Amino acid sequence: MRLEKRKPSGRERDEEAVKLLAKLREQLYSANVSIVRQSAFNLSWMQEDGLEVLTEALFGNGPRRTKGAAAYGLRKMRGRMRKLAEDALIEGLKHPDSKTAEICGNALIVLKRGRQAGKGPSRGKPRGPRFQIREIPDKTRQKRRPVEARKPNDRTSRNR
């Protein structure tokens, strides 16, 4: 499938970012499902640009594996893009293409199920330290013996 050249959004910092984005976008339309899914996951870390490419792939007229991977990438969005990605999936429910609507519906079901499973941080009882810090006795140092009291008549050892 031949893709048109994507015009830069202005958010890319340098030429390498533009090349990486173009490479991931091209891989999103690959025949290998594993590569498609991996590029969708990598795009999910790219904030606005990744969101733009993934929604374009989801609402475009690409193959079903590309649309499924784009929905996967939108599900995996984190941070401030998460709400926008969820809105894009909700918008996809009203899409005239039945494949897109079905994929978006399934992605939203998986997204809701993941939240119900409680993947967030659990706030159980606070744990104490795992190990108790103890003093380790030094084996090289000899223990001090208490000094025995000398008898007053015991001068034999001194006068030699």
pLDDT exceeds cutoff 90 at 14: no
User: Domain 15-116 adopts which CATH fold?
Assistant: Leucine-rich Repeat Variant (1.25.10)
Phi and psi based region of residue 16 (left: phi greater than 0; alpha: psi -120 to 50; beta: remaining): alpha
- pLDDT digits 0-9 by tens, 110-122: 988 887 766 556 6
Quote the tokens at residue 1.
């499938």
Give the span between the Cα atoms of 19 and 39, in whole angstroms. Answer: 14
pLDDT value of residue 39:
94
Q: Read off the amino acid at residue 119.
A: K
Work out the mean pLDDT of the chain and round it to a whole number.
82
Q: Which of 50, 52, 40 has its CA nearest to residue 17?
A: 50
Give the span between the Cα atoms of 47 and 76, in whole angstroms. Answer: 11
Q: How confident is the model at residue 18 (pLDDT cuts 50, 70, 90)?
A: confident
Q: Which of 146, 75, 138, 68 has its CA nearest to residue 109?
A: 75
Cα 93 to Cα 58, 71, 102, 106, distances in angstroms = 11, 12, 7, 10
pLDDT value of residue 138:
77
pLDDT value of residue 133:
80
- 3-class SS at 60? coil
pTM of the model: 0.65
- pLDDT digits 0-9 by tens, 73-116: 999 998 889 999 999 999 999 999 899 999 999 999 998 888 77
Q: Residue ranges of the domains in the chain?
A: 15-116
- For residues 105 and 93, the answer to whether their CB atoms sit within 8 Å is yes
- pLDDT digits 0-9 by tens, 46-69: 889 999 999 999 999 889 999 999
